Amino acid sequence: MTPVYIEDFGVLTAQAKGKAELFAEILNADRNALKPEIVCDSEYYTARCPESAKTIVKECSWTNSVLSYLTICCSEIKETVEKNVSLYGANRIGVVLGTSGYGSDGVYNSEKYRIQNGVFPEGYELSFQQVHKASDFIQDYFGLTGYSGCITTACASGAHAVIEGVKLIQSGLADVVIAGGADDISESVLKGFISLEAADHKKTIPFSKNRRGINMGEGASLLVLTRKKPDSNVISVAGYGETSDAHHITAPDPDGLGAADAMRNALDMAGLKDVDYMNLHGTGTPLNDKMEGRASDSVFQTCPLCSSTKAVTGHTLGASGAVELGICWLMLSEFNKENRLPPHRWDGEPDPEIPEMNFCDDSTKKEELNTAMSNSYAFGGWNVSVILKKDSDK
């Protein structure tokens, strides 16, 4: 298999602008970005990006948060992308973006305006709702002319986009791919999770016996994938697994059979039996955490060191898989000189129905930290597992 490396990474979350800030915040894990807001006459915790990050890109009378978030990510990887354009040409660099409810906040507000006024806002176009607009936006930002595509597989979208980027490079259709995910929190999506009784009134506590649901988050993450070995931070996408069990439109397969297969496929492709760290999907919902614990127990003889970083970033929906792959990249990179691992934030009360998990705490370090697995499990039975590996042979 042709090696594919992650050369750079741009990110925006509710508590971090850029990879350096995200690295510090994930290890600190103070959860200050999770804040209460009133929805449907009740309080729910969410992790929203700053208003200043939402208003960079304006379409008709409203701003597009997703495109604004992507602008910030693009600016962080700009130097790397421009270097690759000079090496390979604009036509050899592809773009694949994952999103769950692309631009849904602006669409929701425009539809509300139409209901109240009888017409859409001046300048509004149907194209504002089309998900490929996000990947085309990245392409236009850098003046690229290669492949551009968008994937929407619910909360697995960002991870799926990275896998598709790897496949583009391995098939010879691109030398470099910008891949990732982005999403915002719209009132309609938030109310949807509330109607499913999946949103938490307090800060989420994944894998606790007292868990109640998710804290929705928003943000974006873009990873620069390349066939050329980078000069530093030589970290490759060593393996991946994709399954679709189609158990239910929103509920996971209770036994996690598809999730387990995705992990096994990733391990087989990477030629591994185990990993040094596992970033859990860990939403904090009763059904998902139980499924994930059972799936992990069926795959690993001993649970790897693990944590759910959604307890810090919030659940960034279609962006989450790409954000969490970026976190895994940071943990394996030269940023992490002490080989620390992200703490798992919860109340410390395990669920007896979930097999024992090996959660990281504030002092967890690993003497040898060379591999990391990131898992994403989405509505509709989408299951994605991706393994990153540090290349010791530089």
Q: Which residues contact 155 (CB under 8 A, 6 or more apart)?
A: 100, 281, 315, 317, 318, 320, 321, 376, 377, 378, 379, 382
Q: DSSP letter at 102?
A: T
User: Is 315 a known active-site residue?
Assistant: yes
Number of H helices, E strands in the chain: 11, 16
Which of 49, 74, 155, 360 does the annotation list as catalytic? 155
Buried b (16+ CB within 10 A) or exposed e, 219-240: bbbbbbbbbeebeebbbbbbbb
- Report the DSSP beta bridge partners of residue 89: none
| Nearest-5° Cα angle at 14, 9 to 15 | 80
Dist CA 178 CA 220 (whole Å):
13
36 token code pair = 């209460």
Which of 150, 281, 328, 360 does the annotation list as catalytic? 281
284 token code pair = 């904090």
Residue with tokens 């085309």: 136
Longest dimension (CA), the chain: 64
Q: List C-alpha distances in Å: 91 to 85, 95, 103, 146, 166.
A: 8, 11, 27, 4, 17
In contact, 265 and 385? CB cutoff 8 Å: yes
Dist CA 160 CA 143 (whole Å):
24
Dist CA 65 CA 363 (whole Å):
36
Which of 160, 315, 344, 360 does the annotation list as catalytic? 315
Q: Strand locations in the chain, DSSP E? A: 5-12, 35-39, 42-47, 58-59, 62-63, 93-98, 148-151, 176-183, 216-217, 219-226, 235-244, 277-279, 305-307, 358-359, 371-378, 382-390
Dist CA 186 CA 108 (whole Å):
7
Q: How many CA atoms lie within 13 A of 16 on its CB side?
A: 25
Number of neighbouring beta carbons within 10 Å of residue 60: 16
Which residues have a catalytic role annotated? 155, 281, 315
